[in-house]
Amino acid sequence: PFEIFRSMTETVFETMSLLARAHDAINLGQGFPDHGEPEALLRIAAEKLLHGSNQYPPMRGLPELRWAVAAHAARFHGVTLDPDSEVLVTSGATEALADTLLAYLSPGDEIVLFEPLYDAYAPIARRAGAVPKVVRLEPPSWTLTANALDAALSEKTRVILFNNPMNPTGKVWSSDEIDLIASRAKARDLLVVADEVYEHLVFEGASFKTVLAHPDLRHRAVRIGSAGKSFSLTGWKVGYAQADAAILEPIVRCHQFITFTTPPNLQQAVAVGLQLDDRYFAELRTRMQRKRDTFRAGLRRVGFEPLEAQGAYFVCARFDQVRKDLSDLEFCRWITTEARVAAIPVSAFYDERPRTDLIRFCVCKKDEVLDEALTRLTRFV
Ligand code: PMP
Ligand code: GLN
């Protein structure tokens, strides 16, 4: 019975954050911002904690938050959702992912995933008894081809899960790629799950389309979002699943026996956050784009070779011009303990942890923190 947990190792984000803390390193590993939480949301959460209800909210989420999720999807993506039957509030995107995979995967089923992948996907799918079939995308464009997708599909496939914009690559999926996924999902009657937690971090030149805006996917897809990313509040763990009512129902059933609900004061604050004006979301995007650009240029000066990133708040970089003798994990340990700057080895985003020549830096930090990290790296390497 413990066999499965041997493959479920401690998540790299926890490992690298502990190492960063032990060495007083600047933590550009685990993805969390060090600024930018909207003050109004903090005030509402504090006010509601002190003077609002602290008892179980409705199992599907507070009506005002479900309404705000639907209004936000209509405003930014032109998608019309019924807040009562097509929106579920969860304790973070991770819970929404777990609810969805537990609802739709049974032992022996297959799920198609794309590498490099967020590290929670395969373990959750396996715990549901399913078998991950992984399509490996290749840098620098990380493009999905029909041949690669077709090779991963079988009679046992039930779900295709993709992350858009994609962690750690920053890839924003093209309409052609989403069409390709939609055509196979339709032909084989599959569920498509889109982890869209970075929906507001899409940079100039890239065009993001939610799965629910695709005519063939509106009634066969689940879209997952997170307040952690949209409002720089990763510790709050407020997420949402959005889908056609019949598709959402089994996910709701799983949610009711996993967390049942999410703290009411945080739900009320996030409801207000989703109604912030367009300027808030535009500023978030331009600020992160500027940090991406400045940090990539800085990495190049140090001797790294940064890859493009069209979205999310990560920059992946080749480190072999700096040191060839270390694996990506060894390289990350080395800069964390010696230069005192932490990063994540990109091998952690592959199911079988092959050695890669890439490491990932998180750039949603104050400018002075990013500058100091570059100074430390320059001094050291
Ligand atoms: N999906 C992706 C791609 C992520 O990067 C993260 C975490 N940062 C999550 C899901 C989890 O989001 P949450 O903290 O809301 O559970
Ligand atoms: N999503 C975050 C990242 O990619 C980490 C979340 C976590 O630590 N569980 O860095």
Q: What is the pLDDT of residue 202?
A: 98
State whether 139 and 161 are in the same domain. yes
Contact 268, 43 (CB under 8 A): no
Q: What is the pLDDT of residue 5?
A: 72
Cα separation, 289 vs 117, whole angstroms: 22
| DSSP H/E element including 362 | strand 358-362
Residue 202's Cβ-count burial label (10 Å; 0-12, 13-18, 19+) is buried
State whether 285 and 374 are in the same domain. yes
Domain boundary among 242, 276, 310: 276
Q: Give the pTM.
A: 0.97
pLDDT at residue 2 is higher than 90: no
Residue 31 CB less than 6 A away from ligand 2: yes
For the segment 236-288, what is each residue's pLDDT rounded down to a tens digit?
A: 999 999 999 999 999 999 999 999 999 999 999 999 999 999 999 999 999 99
CA 183–ligand 2 middle distance (angstroms): 31
Residue 169 CB less than 6 A away from ligand 2: no
Q: What is the pLDDT of residue 214?
A: 98
SS3 content of the chain, % helix, strand, coil (to 5): 45, 15, 40
State whether 164 and 116 are in the same domain. yes
Cα separation, 115 vs 277, whole angstroms: 35
Residue 15 CB less than 6 A away from ligand 2: no
Q: What is the pLDDT of residue 224?
A: 98
Position 8 confidence tier, pLDDT thresholds 50, 70, 90: confident
Q: Which residue has the higher pLDDT, 1 or 107?
A: 107
The parent domain of residue 321 ranges over 3-30+279-380
Ligand nearest to the CA of 349: 2
pLDDT at residue 10 is higher than 90: no
Q: What is the pLDDT of residue 98?
A: 98
For the segment 33-67, what is each residue's pLDDT rounded down to a tens digit?
A: 999 999 999 999 999 999 999 999 999 999 999 99
ipTM of the complex: 0.97
Task: Say if strands 358-362 and 221-226 run parallel, antiparallel, or are unpaired.
Answer: unpaired
CATH of the domain at 7: 3.90.1150.10
Query: What is the percent of the chain where pLDDT is above 90?
Result: 96
Test site for ligand 2: of 17, 234, 237, 313, most ligand atoms within 8 A of the Cβ = 234
Domain boundary among 228, 252, 276: 276
Position 316 confidence tier, pLDDT thresholds 50, 70, 90: very high
CATH of the domain at 104: 3.40.640.10
Instruction: Provide CB contacts within 8 A for 293, sequence distance 6+.
Output: none
State whether 303 and 327 are in the same domain. yes
Mean pLDDT within 64-86: 98
Q: Is 189 helix (H, G, I), strand (E, B) or coil?
A: coil
Mean pLDDT within 169-174: 98
State whether 206 and 310 are in the same domain. no
Q: How many CB atoms lie within 10 A of CB 326?
A: 17
In the chain, the number of structural domains is 2
Mean pLDDT within 133-148: 97
Cα separation, 231 vs 333, whole angstroms: 30
Token reading at 300: 């190049």
Region of 195 on the Ramachandran plot (φ > 0 left; ψ -120 to 50 alpha; else beta): beta
State whether 141 and 270 are in the same domain. yes
Q: What is the pLDDT of residue 1?
A: 57
For the segment 217-236, what is each residue's pLDDT rounded down to a tens digit?
A: 999 999 999 999 999 999 99
Token reading at 371: 């500058």
| Eight-class DSSP state of 258 | T
Tell me how far apart the terminal alpha carbons of the chain are, to the nearest angstrom.
46
Atom of ligand 2 nearest to the CA of 234: 6
State whether 236 and 203 are in the same domain. yes
- Tell me what the pLDDT averaged over the chain comes to: 97
Q: How many CB atoms lie within 10 A of CB 252?
A: 18
Entry field: residues in the chain: 381
Contact 310, 172 (CB under 8 A): yes
pLDDT at residue 152 is higher than 80: yes
Q: What is the pLDDT of residue 242?
A: 98
Q: What is the pLDDT of residue 9?
A: 81
State whether 227 and 324 are in the same domain. no
